[in-house]
């Protein structure tokens, strides 16, 4: 098992893993331009990627980026995705990825390590709780995407806008 920072050469394999995650979450998978955008964002540092190789093939990835807590006046690590291929599960890969990111956050003086989990993914919730995470039930994720993002950005008809 090799855990390492991803390189551009890994992006096609990562996109395949993202497609697996999308299938698991019953969401649309990456589009045809995803690999090129992911490469560009990896180069610019907008996303950080870690991969796990088993027998020379990608078996898992974690996508993350830095966030910031004004209350703590410290950066944080936000885990966007953590996915392990079904055939590679129950081998400690998810735990190793979480511990690696927690150690990185600690070494860099971050005040938080955060992520979201789907309400129906009870197995993941139990795993995260065993790893020391708290479920913050009082917080709700807000999202604006697609055409709604354009409307929010450019519409003059939004109350208070």
**CATH code: domain of residue 9:** 3.40.630.30
Active site residue 78: no
Asked if the structure places residue 126 within a domain, the reply is yes
Asked if the structure places residue 46 within a domain, the reply is yes
Cβ atoms of 11 and 5 within 8 Å: the answer is no
* pLDDT surpassing 70 at residue 133: yes
Asked if the structure places residue 160 within a domain, the reply is no
Contacts of 80 (CB under 8 A, 6+ apart): 47, 63, 64, 65, 115
Q: Is 154 helix (H, G, I), strand (E, B) or coil?
A: helix
Confidence of residue 156 (pLDDT cuts 50, 70, 90): confident
Query: In angstroms, how far is the first alpha carbon of the chain from the final one?
Result: 52
The full DSSP string for 25-55 is TT-----TTHHHHHHHHHHHTSSEEEEEEET
Asked if the structure places residue 64 within a domain, the reply is yes
Asked if the structure places residue 102 within a domain, the reply is yes
Catalytic choice (61, 78, 83, 128): 128
Asked if the structure places residue 161 within a domain, the reply is no
Confidence of residue 158 (pLDDT cuts 50, 70, 90): low
Asked if the structure places residue 17 within a domain, the reply is yes
Domain that holds residue 145: 2-154
Q: How many domains does the chain have?
A: 1
pLDDT the model gives residue 155 = 82
Asked if the structure places residue 159 within a domain, the reply is no
What is the rounded CA–CA span in Å between residue 17 and residue 23? Answer: 10
Residue 148 phi/psi, 5° resolution? -60, -35
Q: What is this structure's pTM? A: 0.92
Overall average pLDDT of the 75-80 stretch: 98
pLDDT the model gives residue 159 = 63
Sheet of 48-54, strands arranged across: 2-5, 48-54, 57-69, 74-84, 112-115
């Amino acid at each position: 098992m090799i855990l390492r920072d991803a390189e551009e050469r890994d992006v096609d394999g990562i996109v395949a893993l993202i497609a697996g995650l999308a299938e698991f979450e019953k969401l649309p998978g990456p589009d045809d331009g995803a690999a090129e955008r992911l490469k560009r964002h990896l180069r610019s540092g907008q996303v950080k990627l870690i991969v796990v190789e088993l027998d020379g093939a990608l078996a898992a990835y974690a996508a993350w980026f830095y966030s910031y807590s004004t209350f703590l006046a410290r950066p944080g690590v936000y885990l966007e995705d953590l996915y392990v291929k079904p055939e590679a599960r129950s081998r400690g890969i998810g735990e190793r990825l979480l511990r690696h990111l927690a150690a990185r956050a600690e070494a860099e003086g971050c005040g938080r390590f955060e992520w979201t989990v789907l309400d129906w993914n009870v197995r993941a919730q139990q795993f995260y709780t065993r790893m020391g995470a708290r479920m913050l039930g009082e917080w709700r994720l807000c999202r604006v995407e697609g055409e709604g993002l354009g409307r929010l950005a450019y519409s003059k008809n939004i109350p208070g806008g």
